[in-house]
Structure 1
Amino acid sequence: MKTIQLKYTCITLALLTFSYSSAQKRKVKKARDDYQAYAYQEAIGKYEAMAKDGYTDKEIYSNLGNANYYNANYEEAAKWYKELLEVTEEVDSGYFYRYAQSLKSLGEYEASDKMMEQFAKTSSKENRVAKFQDNKDYLKAIEAQSGRYTIKLLEINSKVSDFAPSMYGEQLVFSSARDTGIAALKVHEWNNQSFLDLYTASKNGGERFGSVEELSKILNANTHESSTAFSKDGKTIYFTRNNSETGRRFARDGKGVSRLKIFRAELVNGAWKNIVELPFNSDNYSTAHPTLSGDEKKLFFASNRPGTFGESDIYEVDINEDGSYSEPKNLGPTINTEGRETFPFISEEGILYFSSDGHPGLGGLDVFATPLNTVNNQSVVNLGRPVNSDEDDFSFVQNSATHQGYFASNRPGGVGSDDIYSFVENEPLRFRCDKMLQGITKNKADGSVLANTQVKLFATNGEEVASTVSDANGQFSLAVNCLQTLTMVNGDKQNYESDAFEMNSDFSFDSNTVVLELMPLRIDAVREELVIEPIYFDFDESFIRLDAQLDIKKVITYLNKYPNTKLVIESHTDSRATTQYNQKLSEKRAKETKAYLVTKGIAENRMIAKGFGESKLVNDCSDGVACSKAAHQLNRRSEFKIIEE
C-alpha cells in the first residue's frame, strides 16, 4: 500500500513539476514576445511578476535590465543588471557597459569605473574603452567645464515627455506626448505614453511662454514626430517621423520595427505643405534628428545605418544647389563610439553639440561639444554641470548671438518624464587651455645640469603629445593643452637611464617645475652586464605599460651599443588564479615583452623569452596568503639578463 501511495505521489509531483515548467515557459514566451516587439513596459511588468514569484533566469534579469535601461529607468536597470551578474558573468560585454552607465546615474562613480574595467577586459579594442582609459580623470575634466550655465525649468512642460526644442523666430517648437484630445488613443508600447507630436509656444517676454498649440495638423500624423530644424528664412522645415504609409499608420520592416525617417516640408501661404521624404532614408534603418549648418549647405543627423560604429552615429550630407543631397558621411571615431551619439546641433560658429553615452560622462546621455573646423587634434568636451546630470541630457540648441538656448533632461525635479530647460551661457566653452610646462634635466650622479636631453610628454594612452630638447643649461619648456589628460614627462639621453616625472591630478602648470634626473648607465666592468630593474604588469594583463616602455629603453640602448650580446627575458605572475593559468599568462607576458623589443629594432634571434608562472615569487604572497595589492604587484614582472654570445 505504501509502495502504491509513493508511486502516485511521485506521479502527482511529476505532473505538478511539468505543469509548473510549462507555465513558466508560457510566461517567458509572452514576456519575450513583448520585449522583442519593443513593448518594453509590457515586458517589464511580465518579467517583474515572474521575478516576484521566484523565477531566477538569465533572460529575465538581462531583459529587465535592458528594458529599463532603454526607458532611462537607470535605478531599476542597475538593480537587474546586478541580479544578472550574480547569476552569471557569461554575458555579452554590452551588459557591463550598460551597468556601468546605470551606476553613474546613481552617482556610484567608483563602482561604475570598476564595471568599466570589466568591460575593458571583454572589449579591449572598443573606442569606448580607449576613451575611458585615456580619460581616467574624466570627473575632474567635467568639473573644469562645470558652472558655466544658468538653467531654468520651463513652465510649458507637461506630465509626459517634452523634448527636442528648436528656435523658430520668437517661437519655441518642441516634441511632446501630451494629450490633446485624440492623442490618448495613440499609446506607444515602448513606454506607455501617447505618440509624439510637434507643438509650439510663443514668448511673452523673457523666458515666459504663452499657451501651447499644435505646430501643424498637417505635419502631426498618426505616428511620432519630433526634432525639427528650420531654414533661416523660416520657409523650410526638416523633421523626424516614423516610417509610415502617408502618415496614417506605421510601416514596419521585416523585424516588425517602424524606422525613423527625416522629412522636409515648405511653408506655403502660412501652412506647411509639400511634405517629402529625404532620399537617404531607408525602411531598414533609422535616420533622425536633423540640424542645419550655419550656411545651410550641410545637414547633420543621427542614424544606425550600415557602417555605424555603434547604436547610432552622427552623419552629414551636403545640400547641393539643385536641392539634391550627397551620400551620407560618418563623422568618424573621434565623435562616434559604439554607444549612442544622437541629437546633433550646429552653432553659427561651427561647433557641433550632441548627446552621447559613449564618451566619459556623468551618467545616461550627456551633452558634448566639438569644433568641426578643427583639422587636427579635434577635442570632444563634456559641457559639465548643470546642463549635464546623472540622468539623460539631450537635444541641446543655442542662439550664438544671445548665448541662450534650451535642452531636455529626465533629471529629478522636473514635471514629466522628459522636460525642457532654458539656459544662459555665462562663460564660453573651452576647447583648449594653453600652458607652458617648465623643467630642467640633471645628472643624478653629481647634480650637474644635463644638456641636449630629449624630453617627451605623454598622454594617458601612451601617445606622445609634445617633445623638445633641453638647452645648454638643462632647461626646457613645452607648450601644452592643459585640458588634455596628461600622465608623464620623460627624459632620455644616450648612455643614461631614462627618468620620468608622473603628473598626478594635483599637478599645477603655474607652480610646478619638472626636474628630470638621469643616472649614467651602470655597467659591471668585469662582465659588461647591464644592471636593470624589472618591468611590471597590470593584474591579469600582458601589455607593456607606459612606465615599462620607459624603463625598457635602457635595455634597448645597451643592446644597440653591444651587438654581440643576447637578452634573456624571464616573466612571472603573482599567485592568484591556478598554477596552469599563471604559467600560460607568464608565457604570454614573455612573448609580449619580446615582441615589443622586436618593434624597437632588436633582432628576434638575440632574445630568449621564458615564462615561470608563479614559481618564483619575490615575497611570501603564495596561495592563501593575504597580501596587499602592492605586494602582489612585485610578482607581476619581466626580468632581464644580458649574456655574451
Structure 2
Amino acid sequence: MRTSVKLLTIFFILISNIAFSQIGKEKKGDKYYDSFSYKESINKYEAITDKTDTIKRKLAESYYNIGKYEKSELYYAELANSETRIAEDLYNYASVLAVNEKYELSTEWMKKFSDLDKNDSRAKKYLENPKFYTDLLQDKGQFLVKNLDINSNQEDFGAIFYKDKVIFASSRELFRFTRRRWNWNKLPFLDLYIADRDSTYELKNPLGFRASVNKKYHEGPASFNEDGDFMAYTKNNYKEKSKDDAVKLEIYTSEFKNGKWEDGTSVHFNNKEYSVGHAALSPNGEVMYFASDMPGGKGGVDLYIAYRNENKTWGKPINLGDTINTEGNEMFPYYNDAGFLFFASNGHPGLGGLDVFTVNIIDYKVVSEPINLGTPLNTNYDDFALVMDTTQTAGYFSSNRPGGKGDDDIYRFNLLKPFEFKKIILVNVFDNKGNILANTEIKLYDDDKNVIETVKTNDNGKYKFTIEKDMVYLLKGKKDGYSKDQKKADATTNDKSYTVDLILKKTDFSIVCIATDAETKDTIPGVNVVLINKNMDLIESVRTDENGVYSKDLQDIELGDTLNYYANFEKDGYLPKKIDYRICELN
C-alpha cells in the first residue's frame, strides 16, 4: 500500500514537471513573439509537444514572417481543417496558398472562408472573379523591371524622388560605435540614405541622410514635397510603449531652413496605442496620405488622408473608404498630380503577399476601382512602395522576391503602356420596401439594345459591371415573383463610376390553370398549355404538373391593369379546349 502511494506521488510530480515545462516554453515563446523575435519564438513553440490552436497560429505567423511559407502553410492547413477553426484561419490558409502559387486551391479555401464570414469584403472581391490570377500572371508588356546595382545584402526599400536625387530606407550599416539589431530579421535598424540618380535610373554614391533625422532606431520611409523643403517620415516610438508593451510607428515632419533640416515634429494623430506611418505628401505638401491601424478602420492597416491647415497643423484623418481599404492591410501609398494613388495591399485579389495597386484620383477623391498592376511588377512575394516620376514613364518599387541581393530590394521600372481605368456601373437591387434582392438576374445592354452580359446579384443584392466604351447603357432586372425594372446609365460623362438602383415590386398576382376530367372531376397531369398574352404578343408553352396545375406569376402587373390572355389546352384522349381570359380592371 505504501509502495502504491509512493509510485502515485512520483507519477503526479512527473506530470506536473512536464506541464510546468510546457508552460515555461510557451511563456518564453510568447515573449519572443511579442518582441518580433520570430526565429526564437519558433524554437520555443516547436519544443511544445501538445500545441494549442493559439500556439499553432503563432507558429504559422512566425514562419510566414521569416519567409518560410511552406512551413507556415502546414500549420495553417492544420488549423483550417480542425473542428475548432475560426474564419480567419481559412483566410490565412488561402493567403499562404497563394504565396506558394497554389492559386486554384487558394480560391477554394477563399470560398469556404466566405461561407463562414459572408460580410468580409476580401472574399467577396476574390469570388467576383475566381480566375483573376490567370489574367494577373500574363505579362501584358506594360513594364520593364530591373534590380538596382545599389542594393545591399541587407534591406533596401522605399525609394522616393528628392530633387534630382533619390532617398531610400536601408539597414546597411554606417560606421557606429554601437551596433543594434532589429529582432524581426536580425538586421540593423533602418536609416534614410540619399543617392545620385543617373539617366538610366540607377542609383549611385549612397550617403547617410541628415543626422537630425537618422537616430538609433528605425527611420524611414520618407516623403517630400516638390520643392524639397518639407518632408514627412516614419520612425519608431521608443519613448512610449503601448499597453501591450509594443513599439508603434509614428510620423514626423521636418522643414528645411537655413541650410539644414530642422528637428522633426510629431503629427497630432500619432498615438502610442497604434501605428501611423508610410506618409505620402502631395507635390504641394498640403495633403498627406498615410497608413494606420488606428481604431475605427476597416480592419488591419487602412489608408487615410489628412489636409494641412493654414497654421501648418494637420486636420483630422479621413479614412479612404471601402473602395481601397479591406479587412487586410493597405499601406505604402504614393500620390502624384497626374491623378494616381499607388498602394500595396494583401486584401485585394492578388498573386500573394503584398501586391501593388493603383486608383484614379480627382481632387484627392478616389474615382475608380483599384487596378492590380500584375506581372512582372507583382509576384507571389511582397511587392510594395511604388513611386513614379513626373514623366509618368519610369519609377521605383520594392520587393522581397527571389533573385534579389538582400531581404528587400529596390527595383526600377519603365512604364511602356499607360494605365487604363475602366468605368464601373454598380447595380443595387431592392424590392419596393427597401429589402435587398439577392440572386436577381440583371442584363446589361449596349446602345443598340444588344445584350452585353447577363449576371446574378450577390448576397447583398449588388453587381459591379466593368465597362469599356462610353455610351448610354440599359440595365434590366428580373426575378421570379417580382415585377421587372429597367434604368439607363449614361457613361458618356467624365465620371468613373455610376450607381443604378433597380426597384422590383413584389408580385401579388398570378394565373392558376387547373385541368380536370369533365366526368370524373380528377385533375389531369401533363396537359399541354399554350398561354398567349394578347397585350404583349407573348406566347408561352407549358404543361400542367403532376397535380394537373400550372401557375404563373404575373410580372409588371399592378392594380388597375387590364389582363387579356388566350389559353389552349390539349392532351391525347381529350378534346382540345380554348379559353379567353380578360379582366378590364384588376382589383
What pairs up with 1:247-262 in 2 under 5 angstroms? 251-262=240-251
Deviation (angstroms), 1:21 = 1.8
CA distance in 1, matches of 2:249, 2:408: 20
SS in 2 for 1:332: coil
1:84 and 2:76 aligned:
no
SS in 2 for 1:17: helix
CA distance in 1, matches of 2:452, 2:145: 45
CA offsets 1:239-296 (integer angstroms, 9 cap, x no match): 0111144xxxxx2122111221111112234322132111222222111011122443
Deviation (angstroms), 1:439 = 11
1:18 and 2:16 aligned:
yes
Deviation (angstroms), 1:522 = 3.5
CA distance in 1, matches of 2:342, 2:326: 15
SS in 2 for 1:411: coil
Change (3 A) 1:184 1:458: farther
Change (3 A) 1:49 1:454: closer
1:171 and 2:171 aligned:
no
CA distance in 2, matches of 1:288, 1:183: 29
Contact kept, 8 Å, 2:274 with 2:292, in 1: the verdict is: yes
CA offsets 1:517-557 (integer angstroms, 9 cap, x no match): x97264759999436xxxxxxxxxxxxxxxxxxxxxx6463
1:307 and 2:307 aligned:
no
CA distance in 1, matches of 2:263, 2:41: 39
Contact kept, 8 Å, 2:254 with 2:262, in 1: the verdict is: yes
Please report the TM-score for the alignment, with normalisation by the length of structure 1: 0.68
> What residue is the counterpart of 2:122 in the other structure?
128
> What residue is the counterpart of 2:33 in the other structure?
35
Report the structure, 1 or 2, having the larger helix content: 1
- Any stretches of 5+ residues in structure 1 without a counterpart? 246-250, 442-452, 470-476, 485-493, 497-517, 532-553, 564-645
* Of 369, 372, 377, the match for 1:382: 372
1:154 and 2:148 aligned:
yes
> What residue is the counterpart of 1:62 in the other structure?
57
- Any stretches of 5+ residues in structure 2 without a counterpart? 426-443, 466-472, 477-487, 498-506, 511-537, 562-587
CA offsets 1:148-190 (integer angstroms, 9 cap, x no match): 1101001111122211111112222111112223387221223
Task: Give the paired residue count.
Answer: 486
CA offsets 1:17-70 (integer angstroms, 9 cap, x no match): 2222221111111112222343333212222343xxx44432321111122334
CA distance in 2, matches of 1:519, 1:217: 84
Deviation (angstroms), 1:400 = 3.4
Contact kept, 8 Å, 1:147 with 1:385, in 2: the verdict is: no
Change (3 A) 1:556 1:4: farther
Change (3 A) 1:282 1:527: same
Paired amino acid for 1:373: I
1:337 and 2:326 aligned:
yes
> What residue is the counterpart of 2:362 in the other structure?
373
What pairs up with 1:95-494 in 2 under 5 angstroms? 95-143=89-137, 146-182=140-176, 185-245=179-239, 251-373=240-362, 378-432=368-422, 457-458=454-455, 461=458, 463=462, 465=465, 467=474
CA offsets 1:431-467 (integer angstroms, 9 cap, x no match): 11799966999xxxxxxxxxxx999854763635453
> What residue is the counterpart of 1:46 in the other structure?
44
SS in 2 for 1:212: strand
Q: Is the deviation greater in 113-122 or in 71-80? A: 71-80
* Of 550, 555, 572, the match for 1:530: 550
CA distance in 2, matches of 1:234, 1:342: 23
Deviation (angstroms), 1:126 = 1.3
Contact kept, 8 Å, 1:68 with 1:77, in 2: the verdict is: yes
Change (3 A) 1:144 1:370: farther
Change (3 A) 1:25 1:559: farther
SS in 2 for 1:397: strand
Change (3 A) 1:59 1:478: closer
CA offsets 1:394-423 (integer angstroms, 9 cap, x no match): 111111315111111111111111111110
Contact kept, 8 Å, 1:159 with 1:417, in 2: the verdict is: yes
> What residue is the counterpart of 2:501 in the other structure?
none
Contact kept, 8 Å, 1:397 with 1:406, in 2: the verdict is: yes
Q: Is the deviation greater in 90-99 or in 411-420? A: 90-99
Contact kept, 8 Å, 1:228 with 1:237, in 2: the verdict is: yes
SS in 2 for 1:60: helix
Identity %: 30
Change (3 A) 1:367 1:561: same
SS in 2 for 1:119: helix
Report the structure, 1 or 2, having the larger strand content: 2
Deviation (angstroms), 1:215 = 0.9
Contact kept, 8 Å, 1:352 with 1:369, in 2: the verdict is: yes
Contact kept, 8 Å, 2:226 with 2:284, in 1: the verdict is: no
> What residue is the counterpart of 2:69 in the other structure?
74
Please say which structure displays the higher CA radius of gyration. 2
